[in-house]
Amino acid sequence: MIASRQPETFLPFVSQRLSSKLGSAAAKSGEGYISHYGAWHGNAGDVMIVYAQQALLNKRFSQQKWVDENHKKKVEAPDIERINNDAKLVIVGGGGLLLPDRHRLIPNTDSDWLWNISMKNLAALQKPLIGFAIGYNRMKGQDDFRPFFNDHIAATIDRSVFFGLRNTSSLEKLATYLPSRLVDRLVLQPCPTNLMSRVDPPRWAAHRDPKKREVVFVLFMGFARLGIIEDKANIRRVAQLAKRLHAQGWDIHIATHTNEELAAIPAFEEECVPFTHKMLDMMSREAVVQYYRSKNLVIGMRGHGVMLPYGLGVPVMGIINHVKVRYFLEEVKLGEYAVDLEDPVMTDKMFERVQQFDSDRQGFYDIMDREQQRLWDITERNLDGLEPYFNPA
């Protein structure tokens, strides 16, 4: 069914998945690899995090050998034994890690966040542990962490040689769960998706056409498994904004990062909005990059629906029904371009902000480029300190 809906992307998607699995298996059969816990399939934004992380670290430390470890799979004693024998370090990063973990067939009674490792196995880990660009992802209406999370995250940070959060708000939120002695161990480390145009400019930097008008709406409907589902009337208002922009000469694109967002598509059809839709979770990682870099503006409701295009140099704004979108836009001094979905005049405010951007695109680019340089400088300083772990003498 998926192949028939988007046949032009299906074979490259399958090929990339297969190539990734084979490369990981080859590295796993040897020694000196990096065990990388992240998301390798599913949500397109999560998948792009690990792609960007590996590209950044390969650029800085030369090509590394990577073993793709599923961050949703419980870390067992045989995993620790293998890592201690064969890996050179462990990276935990990417894929909505810092949110309560309540939806496994076998309940997570060890950590209550998505890196599910017991205290015993954590203590048995002998290789350097790095938490890299992790985000605090609890959303409105979601349960708080259970008390044993506090002890687990504290032990993880205490065990780590580096623990980086991807924005200041995430750092501040996580600090409230920690003893004071560990708060200073938290480091600001921007998500590598924010930096992709710096990692490989010829291949990944955006096409900034000063006259072209193509806007992408990245939709978010909540999480059905959590019982948090966006009101369809609110999505209808997003569609009405798209209709107004189309009347002003903008070509409308819709990007979905998971199949849950497909439920939002009918609102655009009911409003008679002409649009082109792409399911990014059914595209190769490189195809996702090329899709975003060719556009002129992204209005996102998902975290990496703004973070990834921003990192390519594409202007971004946010309609907020998940606070992590606001966290990011405030971090890069674009907070005024974040409007709450439930704001009664959301459509008017967003329309005005698009008009403002369109009248002074260069001014918007200047803010983006200045802030991205700041994020790059922070990252370079952090990576300087991590050199011995990636390239030990």
| Fold observed for domain 2-195+374-390 | Rossmann fold (3.40.50)
More reliable by pLDDT, 331 or 16: 331
Closest CA to 84 of 120, 127, 123: 127
**Contact (CB, 8 A) for 297 and 361:** no
pLDDT surpassing 70 at residue 252: yes
Question: How many angstroms separate the CA atoms of 82 and 88, rounded?
Answer: 11
Confidence (pLDDT) at 231: 78
Least reliable range by pLDDT among 57-66, 97-106, 230-239, 271-280: 97-106
**Any idea what DSSP says for residue 299?**
E
More reliable by pLDDT, 94 or 211: 211
**Contact (CB, 8 A) for 157 and 377:** no
Task: State the helix-helix crossing angle for 346-359 and 232-247, rounded to 10 degrees.
Answer: 30
For the chain, percent of residues with pLDDT exceeding 70:
96
pLDDT in tens, 278-311: 999 999 999 999 999 999 999 999 999 999 999 9
| Fold observed for domain 199-371 | Rossmann fold (3.40.50)
- Mean per-residue pLDDT over the chain, rounded: 92
Same fold, 2-195+374-390 and 199-371: yes
pLDDT in tens, 306-325: 999 999 999 999 999 888 89
Confidence (pLDDT) at 1: 46
Helix, strand, or coil (residue 49): helix
pLDDT surpassing 50 at residue 24: yes
Q: Name the residue ranges covered by the structural domains of the chain.
A: 2-195+374-390, 199-371
